[in-house]
Amino acid sequence: MELAFTEICLRNKVEPQHRYMDSAEILETANRHVVNTLTAMRAYADQVVQDFKCLDLVPSFSQVAKSELNEAFYRSLDYRFMCSLRNHVQHKATAVHGFVADDDRMRDANGWVETVTFYANKETLRADKDFKLRVLDEQPQKIDIRRRARRSVQAVGEVHLALRNLSKDQVAQARSAIELAIREYKEAGAESIIGLGARRVGDTTADVALLLDWDDVRLRLVNKNSSLPRLWPRRSHREAKVEEIIALRDAMEQTQAQAAALVFVTEDRWRDYEDGLPMPEGLFLLYKLQVGRHPTHTLQQLNAVDE
Domains: count for the chain: 2
At 166-175, the pLDDT tens digits run 999 999 999 9
For residues 110 and 213, state if they share a domain. yes
Percent of the chain whose pLDDT exceeds 90: 60
Both 43 and 168 in a single domain?
yes
State which of 167, 199, 231 marks the end of a domain: 231
Cα–Cα distance for residue pair 189/186, rounded to 1 Å: 5
Using pLDDT thresholds of 50, 70 and 90, give the confidence band for residue 37.
very high
CA atoms within 13 A on the CB side of 33: 18
Q: What pTM was computed for the model?
A: 0.78
Q: pLDDT value at position 114?
A: 78
| Percentages of the chain per state (helix, strand, coil), in multiples of 5 | 55, 5, 35
**pLDDT over 80 at 213, yes or no:** yes
Which of 210, 231, 252 corresponds to the end of one domain?
Answer: 231
Write out pLDDT tens, residues 282-292.
Answer: 999 999 999 99
Instruction: Identify residue 67 by its one-letter amino acid code.
Output: S
Please tell me whether residues 21 and 44 are part of one structural domain.
yes
The residue range of the domain holding 157 is 1-231
The mean pLDDT of 230-245, rounded to a whole number, is 87
CATH number at residue 243: 1.10.260
Q: Is the pLDDT of residue 267 over 90?
A: no
Are β-strands 208-209 and 98-101 bridged in parallel, bridged antiparallel, or unpaired? Answer: unpaired
Q: Which pLDDT does position 202 carry in this prediction?
A: 77
Pair (210, 267) in one structural domain: no
* Final residue of a structural domain among 231, 257, 289: 231
What is the average pLDDT across 85-101?
91
Same domain, 84 and 194: yes
